[in-house]
Structure 1
Amino acid sequence: MMFEGEAEAWLGIDLGTQSVRALLVTADGTVLGSGTAPLTGRRDGVRHEQDPGEWWAAVCTASRAAMSSLRGRGSIGGLAVCGTSGTVLLTDAQGRPLTPGLMYDDGRAVEEAARVGMQTSWALPKALWLLDAHGWREGRGQVARVAHQPDVITAQLTGGVVIPTDSSHALKTGYEAEREAWPPQLAHLGEVLPEVVRPGTRLGEVCPAAAEATGIPAGTPVVAGMTDGCAAQIASGALRSGAWNSVLGTTLVLKGASARPVRDEAGVVYNHRAPDGSWLPGGASSVGAGALPTVADPAELAELDGRAAAYEPSGALTYPLASPGERFPFLAPDATAFTLGTPASEADSWAAVLQGVAFTERLCLDYLRSLGAPIDGPLTFTGGAARSAYWNQLRTDILGRPARVPEQIEPALGMAVLAAYGAGPGGRALSEVADGMVRIRTLLEPRASHTARFAEPYARLVDELETRGWLPTPLATHTRTRLNQDTIDS
């Protein structure tokens, strides 16, 4: 029951790599409360694991902090949980973890990845590796079930034994989103694979024991979530066909909305199924802010941005991979970062990286256009780099298209929106719910004179990537044709 002056709020929980974040948000986007708790992991070479018990402890801490501010201000209508895409573990028949969580970047499943034709970052190779390592294939081990990071939390919240996973997290475990079924080639795994439902499906309610641990009222609906990348997309409001969210942090991820899947024979673009049955295509590049020197002081970052403005374009051309190998807009495992020319100063070097990321971002959009993806809707900037006003404007200029930056750029907000969609009044599209809860902070317009000055270095980067054998010639030709047409039109 709500009293006058109270508001119904929705809880989003984000299981990140370094922390858990909980955000309590009303239907008009007002943040009533938030909480965070750190996570630690074990890294050793290609190994990267986390303790599932630590996930639950952090959720309890973060949720109690977020819920503490709700007293007397409203009630909670539901919650949803997102996790890191590709993180997987095994549980027993009661849903209790049997193994550590193998994180998205755990690189041990090399043979399994080759066998199923996937990258090691995907969940299926790691799940097969775990099943082999724990003797499931020979029948020596316990009954095991494959689970994703949020499944552990939703099971704890509902007090259920084994509850369904969502199709978003299941995608990288081999689930076929178009057929909405596990593929025939995984039939031998039988009940080891979980039941799958669409995001936004009601899974159950918070049980009394979980309510005591988390501060979330018993009976609160628990809704199936999505991956952290999809959660960030929902938080950006990029949910109508043709809209895209460009998430720039350590690396660059583009995620959009489409009425149909975007077909890509190269396999660098994949498609999540939206709660309403439409599609969320996207791809992840290895360029990003991770290629910049580490600068902790915000004032120093702003000062470097200001000095970089004197170098438009930079005297050097940089392809700023944050780590070896490229995944989008082309697949080149042997790709490495490079710089052509010598920067005139530290500020010029800084400018070259900022511009190189934006050039790659433009190439990603050109690739999506070449695939026939709808890209004529609004473009939203999120991720840690969206805090840089200068970089936002530079990207807008290089892309030659308007962009916007929301107030909140957290995946936890996306899960609060999804909870409102799944547990709130029926008959509303997810995009309508997001329109009410996502607040836009900044609107950016490209400056034609600045866009023109970056055409030549962008063309040189395309030529260089093609010459090195990384960028396929058809895409390079398409990009040059688009660039020439844009130059004529301007």
Structure 2
Amino acid sequence: MWMGIDLGTQSVRAVLVGDDGALLGSGAAPLAGSRDGVRHEQSPDDWWEAVRTATGGALAAGPGRPVRALAVCGTSGTVLLADGAGRPLTPGLMYDDVRATAEAATARVQPTWALPKAMWLLKRRPSTVGVHLTHQPDFIVSRLVGRRTATDSSHALKTGYDLTADAWPQERLGELGLEPGLFPEVVRPGARLGEVGAEGAAATGIPAGTPVIAGMTDGCAAQIASGSLSVGSWNSVLGTTLVLKGVTAEPVHDSTGVVYNHRAPDGSWLPGGASGVGAGALTNAFPDADPAGLDALAHAYEPATALAYPLVSRGERFPFLAPDATALLLGEPGSDADHWAALLQGVGHTERLCLDYLDHLGAPQDGPLTFTGGGSRSAYWNQLRTDILGRTVRIPRHSEPALGMAVLAAYGAGAAPTLAEAAGRMIGLGHVLRPDPARTARFLAPYLRMVDELERRGWLPAPVATHARARALEVS
């Protein structure tokens, strides 16, 4: 029995999974943060309390067998400062907090990355003695183990860790005024970080001595849960925002930094990017909506009257970099259902543009495409996205990041010689969706209109827009 813990934006989720992939127990606890414009914070102590609740619920629902190992994933780029004992000295700056724009310019990375956020936090401290940079899962793992532990290279990526050299770039970090003692030791995902200690066991109910395995970011965790682990395969995670990740033999180079590369436990590369569009735009527009009811009505609006680029908050990171980009709604919806349809379709158009951008960079896409994330619970939206993309899509039986962490825990504890073999045993295919050519053709004109509008506003570079239009005409 393996445990996976996912520290999400709105909740913490814990699952217990058997060797055959059977879901044996699960638990969840809500999370609340503080948003104000470009600011987005959460309390690390709230993360810990939510973990206690979620793991307790999973264990209470489980069969009572021992947990053989666990792994934790968190949101990519979420960071805080902690003292030597692991106690938080600052709030957790979330993945989409973009206050560190000046620091990002100095570091030459995106403001959503953890590195500029750490620089921003350090500027506001009277002393940096005994201060340690801590990623979201590091904080939880240190509480479980009872001491400060190494971090994994997946979460360290956006803090500036050099995955090719497998080391912190000390000279560059020194030029930014960052001392070596600030940064944790780094290990590859799947490495053993320690064991649950007595205090962690008393707080969570997880038995003392349970191995804790180094995890990955939530997007990578969802990719493991999708089973998309062969070269050329891609997984599209639709939650509050949209994340696409694939598998390549070599890193995908992008001079703009829009696409970045994680390193898999087996040494292959996991390129991808995180967009600012997603299901969060539905919640923003319709906070009290009945999603299933509006999905049923949206079918009458294909395509919708209005054209949407449904950003959840200001700024876009993928498939283009535009810090000042805002949500678009071109045209006037005739009803709530028409508006809902525009948002659903807008996410699908953005997803298509993301894949076109990856093709522009030369990333292989000849493997299967999988949908995961909370958005994949909508059968209508799944088929709509499949039709907009015009390609076959797989839907796993279970697709949450916590499952991916359970698979990684099994691999890290030695239950399988490779991560792919662990995933093959523990992940099952739910069903396959195939596109309707007539619907694919129906959505071509709105897609091209969106590409034109994004280019006109100066957000989408002209070469990318030209490639997207050419590729759309090839498909049609």
Per the TM superposition, whether the score is higher than 0.5 is yes
Q: What TM-score results when the alignment is normalised by the length of structure 2?
A: 0.93
The 1:212/1:367 distance shift into structure 2, 3 A limit, reads same
- Which residue of 104, 114, 136 maps to 1:113? 104
Q: Answer with 1 or 2: which has the greater Rg.
A: 1
- Which residue of 452, 460, 477 maps to 2:466? 477
Q: Deviation at 1:295?
A: 5.2
Give the distance between the partners of 1:432 and 1:445, measured in 2 at CA. 27
Contact 2:152-2:187 within 8 A present in 1 as well: yes
Deviates more, 1:142-151 or 1:463-472: 463-472
Contact 1:77-1:424 within 8 A present in 2 as well: no
- Which residue of 119, 131, 137 maps to 1:144? 131
- Which residue of 57, 71, 95 maps to 1:104? 95
Q: Deviation at 1:475?
A: 1.4
Report the AA paired with residue 82 of structure 2.
T
Report the counterpart of residue 315 of structure 1 in structure 2: 305
What is the SS of the residue equivalent to 2:68? Answer: strand
Paired residue total: 470
Q: Deviation at 1:304?
A: 2.1
Q: Do residues 177 (structure 1) and 163 (structure 2) align?
A: yes
Contact 2:26-2:62 within 8 A present in 1 as well: no
Give the distance between the partners of 1:45 and 1:356, measured in 2 at CA. 23
CA deviations on 1:96-146 (whole Å, 9 max, x unpaired) are 33333222233432322221122322111121222222234xxxx532111
> 1:437-448 counterparts in 2 under 5 A?
437-448=426-437
> 1:281-300 counterparts in 2 under 5 A?
281-292=271-282, 293-294=285-286, 296=288, 300=290
Q: Do residues 355 (structure 1) and 341 (structure 2) align?
A: no
Report the counterpart of residue 6 of structure 1 in structure 2: none
The 1:287/1:53 distance shift into structure 2, 3 A limit, reads closer
Q: Deviation at 1:45?
A: 5.2
Q: Do residues 38 (structure 1) and 3 (structure 2) align?
A: no
- Which residue of 136, 145, 153 maps to 1:167? 153
What is the SS of the residue equivalent to 1:404? Answer: strand
Report the counterpart of residue 6 of structure 2 in structure 1: 14
Report the counterpart of residue 5 of structure 1 in structure 2: none
Give the distance between the partners of 2:92 and 2:460, measured in 1 at CA. 35
Q: Deviation at 1:11?
A: 0.4
Report the counterpart of residue 88 of structure 1 in structure 2: 79
Deviates more, 1:12-21 or 1:441-450: 12-21
What is the SS of the residue equivalent to 1:75? Answer: coil
Report the AA paired with residue 155 of structure 1.
S
Q: What TM-score results when the alignment is normalised by the length of structure 1?
A: 0.90
> 1:107-256 counterparts in 2 under 5 A?
107-136=98-127, 141-160=128-147, 162-183=148-169, 184-187=171-174, 188-256=178-246
Report the counterpart of residue 60 of structure 1 in structure 2: 52
Structure 1 stretches lacking a partner, 5+ long = 1-8
Report the counterpart of residue 4 of structure 1 in structure 2: none
- Which residue of 417, 420, 432 maps to 2:421? 432
Contact 2:3-2:69 within 8 A present in 1 as well: yes
Q: Do residues 261 (structure 1) and 247 (structure 2) align?
A: no
Report the AA paired with residue 153 of structure 2.
S
Q: Deviation at 1:167?
A: 0.6
- Which residue of 376, 387, 402 maps to 1:397? 387
Report the AA paired with residue 294 of structure 1.
F
Give the distance between the partners of 2:179 and 2:104, measured in 1 at CA. 17
Contact 2:416-2:422 within 8 A present in 1 as well: no
Report the AA paired with residue 124 of structure 1.
L
Q: % of aligned pairs identical?
A: 65
What is the SS of the residue equivalent to 1:459? Answer: helix
Contact 1:295-1:301 within 8 A present in 2 as well: no
- Which residue of 431, 455, 467 maps to 1:466? 455
Give the distance between the partners of 2:89 and 2:396, measured in 1 at CA. 40
